[in-house]
Amino acid sequence: MANMATTPDRSRVRFPGISSRAYEHPADRGALVALRSLSGFDTIFRRLSGLFSERSLRLLFLSNAVRVDENQFRDLYDYVRDAAYILDLPRVPELYVTQNPIPNAMAIGSDRPFIVINTGLFDLLDAEEQRFVVGHEVGHILSGHAVYRTMLLALTALALRVAWIPLGYIGLRAIVMALEEWYRKSELSCDRAGVLAGQDPEAGKRALMKLAGGSRLAQMNTEAFLEQAREYDSGGDARDGLLKLLNLMGRTHPFAVIRFAELDRWTREGEYSAILNGNYPRREDDKNAKIGEEVKNAANSYREAWNRTADPFVGTLRDVAGSAAEGAGKLFDAVASRARRAGNGEGSDRSSNGT
């Protein structure tokens, strides 16, 4: 596979120097900016990542999957080259197709991240929907999400080992729940990246509908599915709201109707069009991103979502959670400032896969 991105096969808008902050959900972006600014974080991550051998995983897929290139799955090869070119990722990630009936795809690794697509997902989607999925995974690589996913896996494994210690388990479980919430928001981020790579929002919506209802797209309707999302959001009384919260426990991906509605809103409300017109943050400015500002943006995004929802349960959480998020912004600002002073005024470089 070629190492450098090349010109895409058909004309799409390219985004030179685009920062992942352009498409990241505010809650995802706030966590990423904060953690990238903490001195010594890279060292901690590398110790954690030793629990999950990237080299071993690459050898596993090299031995028992099909590596995409000019001669194997040529269309997918073109999609991953195009996505890397459009999102200005310097190195085209390797992509493997593996025999597995469960529709899924993932980006793995930190030093040389690569993408794996199950045959169950490949067979489910048409060409433009596949392009959306490949762009979604390239978005994970550009954002460096593998760093924090590794933390989630490590902490989840540790929580299971200390489950017999009540206080230890409760503390770890709280951290795992927070990471799971971030993980779900990172999926919303990369749905946006998938649309930026393919520049066909309807293909993204179709892919999400198929993940919910299978291949019979002719039997489904986008407006009806969006109405289904609205019905889920309104959610009856407070008991339903609590049940929805409980149903999310242990899940790393948002429900399909939530992803569909979020992607529809993002493309309709102007952010997508602004990026297409060249109005997006650049990677060269990432070091200047303010932690407190990003955390406040995250708090505002939750408030806006809560103001949009008709779920009565959310009203009982709104003020408490918003105040906590603002307090977190001030805390991260203080910690980052102290870390920079300790490092002679030098902030940490962002830890991002593939860049």
* Model confidence at 334: pLDDT above 90: no
Question: What is the average pLDDT value for the chain, to the nearest integer?
Answer: 77
Residue 65, CA distances (Å) to 59, 68, 113, 132 in order: 10, 10, 16, 21
Whole-angstrom distance, CA of residue 125 vs CA of residue 341:
51
Residue carrying structure tokens 């596949």? 130
* pLDDT score recorded for residue 353: 40
Question: Who wins on pLDDT, 335 or 12?
Answer: 12
Residue predicted with more confidence, 63 or 179: 63
Q: Count of H helices and E strands in the chain?
A: 15, 4
CA distance 192 to 187: 9
CB 112 within 8 A of CB 95: no
In the prediction, which pLDDT does 180 show? 75
Catalytic residue annotation: 137
pLDDT digits (tens, 9 = 90+) for 255-271: 999 999 999 999 999 99
The pLDDT assigned to 124 comes to: 97
CA angle 73, 133, 280 (to 5 degrees): 125
User: Between 26-36 and 291-308, two packed helices, what is the crossing angle to 10 degrees?
Assistant: 160
Q: 235 falls in which pLDDT band (50, 70, 90)?
A: low
Q: Are 148 and 35 in contact (CB under 8 A)?
A: yes
Contact 196, 23 (CB under 8 A): yes
- Encode pLDDT of 297-311 as tens digits: 655 555 555 455 555
β-pairing, 114-118 with 95-98?
parallel
